[in-house]
Chain A
Amino acid sequence: MRVFVVIPAYNEAAVITKTVSEVSALYQAVVVDDGSTDNTALLAHSAGAAILSHAVNRGQGAALQTGIEYALNRQADVIVTFDADGQLSVKDIESLILPIKDGKADIVLGSRFLGQANSLPFSRRMILKVAILLTRFYTGLKVTDTHNGLRAFSVKAARELHIRQDGMAHASEIIEHIKKYNWRFIEIPMTMFYTEYSLNKGQKLSGALKIIWDMLLSRLGK
């Protein structure tokens, strides 16, 4: 079973070696260097990842789609998406991919609200809860977490997935795909470790507003 773990990274030199080393010890790590200006790509390659380099920064959604296409070209059986910033645990991947290996799901989503979100600040929790409510309202799917970087796709789902949202709105777009293509989905509890580094790099309120704006714009352009 070929499990590819796609890790989008933009200027993550401080943490990428640790993340990739842990992932590549068990799975095939694919780092999509999204136009970094530091040596993220070099460090990730030294740590054992395949590297795809975006010449300019295109956003996390764009980077994920690139990595997923690479994995499909390399005959992946399961494709996992994973964050570079050290918030996720490699240990969670095993239970994440199990429903796909067993043919029980087309997509498996990690949920910090079924599991643990250590040191999650109140403001971040509120933003996430609003995002979850909006997604539930829009798709009718009872998901408990939406903007979580830990997901696993079957080959069928990965082939049907076409992320058009280059930025962070891709997370909502992926949930919309579940509805659109009638994917069987399962949520599994996972642990999210918030660090000072990841909180500085992560989404703020302005980021949340941009996600809503991007989603509205994409609907106008359809």
Chain B
Amino acid sequence: MIQLIIVILVTVILWRTAWQWRKSDITGREFFVWVVFWSAIALASFVPKQADKFAQIIGVERGADLFVYFSIIILFFVVFKILVRQQSIQREITKIVRKNALANPLEGKDNEVNINKNAQSGRSDSDI
């Protein structure tokens, strides 16, 4: 029964991934990594004893446990990558907002007076 659920889930995921790849939302390399990863999970569900043996090579009792450990490591890595990327996007937004603000200042009373004076006398701002 569990094999059937896993196969259905993996099929849906791979179908969606293939669709994203066709739309160029993900690169060929990312698509390849996902296909290998999910296929390995589907395969392991059919040969649990072999998966256990494989897990024991790296010191984990069961194949299913290895999968859970591995998933947590990947999740941490993905969350970290997303946080760093999100920070970088935030900084880019700030840069754009700042550039826009500095390009369109509404001069204050003193500066307006100075600018008008300078325009009349031909002086630059720094001479004030």
Contacts and interface: CB of A to CB of B under 8 A. Distances in A.
A28 B104 contact: no
Interface residues of B, number: 25
A49 B93 CA distance: 25
A48 B93 contact: no
Interface string B74-111: 00000010011001101101100110111011111111
A45 interface: yes
A51 B108 contact: yes
A92 interface: no
Contacts, number: 77
A54 B97 contact: yes
A211 interface: no
Given A28-B108, A51-B108, A70 B84 contact: no
B101 A73 contact: no
A168 B18 CA distance: 43
A22 interface: no
Interface residues of A, number: 32
Contacts of A109: none
A52 to B, nearest CB: 4
A135 interface: no
B110 A28 contact: yes
A62 interface: yes
Given A50-B107, A58-B97, A70 B102 contact: yes
Contact of B101 (A2, A66, A164, A221): A66
A58 B102 contact: no
Interface string A76-95: 00000000000000000000
22 contacts: A24-B109, A28-B111, A32-B101, A45-B106, A45-B108, A49-B108, A50-B111, A51-B106, A53-B101, A53-B106, A54-B97, A54-B101, A55-B97, A56-B93, A58-B94, A58-B97, A69-B102, A74-B111, A74-B125, A75-B125, A75-B126, A218-B87
Interface of A: 2, 24, 28-30, 32, 41, 45, 48-56, 58, 62, 65-66, 69-70, 73-75, 164, 166, 217-218, 220-221
